[in-house]
Amino acid sequence: MARDIVESLEEALHGLQEISPHVMGSAVVTSDGFVVASDLPSEMDEKKITVMAMAMLTLAQETMSELSASDLERVLVESKDSYIVLLNAGPDAVVAAVAEKEAVLGLLLVAMRQTVQRVEGILTA
């Protein structure tokens, strides 16, 4: 059963890359920064990436709670040549993805929402 969960999550993350080919890597992490599953290129350090992603998410959540009462929808970081997107996947997990700037942002977000739904389904099954 365990192998199924991790493999299913990795499959869902790999599916994201198939839907949106400009995605360079993605991961499912707990809301406090521990890796649940990942589909990252070998040059990316899994632990470092997830901890940095969680630092961004925590900062964004704190900022949102200071500024308004509404819940955080997503975190989007845009650089000259890439995007980093974080989306909540239920109360315990977050899906993080790094994509090239060539990705169409709207399509990337749709693909990520689909992945989030799959991840939520796997974790609650």
Partner 1 sequence: MDERLNFTAAQQQRIDDCLNTLLAKTRAHGVLLADATGQLIGKAGIANDRKATALSTLSAGSFAATSEMAKFLGRATHFSQHFHEGEDYGIYSATVNPSLLLTVTFDAEAKLGLVRIFTKRAVEELERITAEAQENQDQGDGIDEMMDSEFGQLLADELDSLFAE
Nearer residue to partner 1 within complex by CB, 29 or 103: 29
Q: Interior CA angle at 68 toward 64 and 73, to 5°? A: 50
7 makes contact with partner 1 (CB under 8 A): no
52 makes contact with partner 1 (CB under 8 A): no
Task: Write out the H or E segment, with its range, that includes residue 105.
Answer: helix 105-124
Q: Rule CB under 8 A: choose which of 12, 13, 37, 111 binds partner 1.
A: 37
117 makes contact with partner 1 (CB under 8 A): no
6 makes contact with partner 1 (CB under 8 A): yes
**Helix, strand or coil for residue 5?**
helix
11 makes contact with partner 1 (CB under 8 A): no
48 makes contact with partner 1 (CB under 8 A): no
CA distances from 32 to 28, 29, 79, 91, 99 (A): 11, 8, 24, 11, 23
Tell whether the torsion through CA atoms of 50, 95, 17 and 35 is positive or negative.
Answer: positive
Binding site for partner 1 (CB under 8 A): 1-3, 5-6, 28-30, 32, 34-37, 92-93, 123
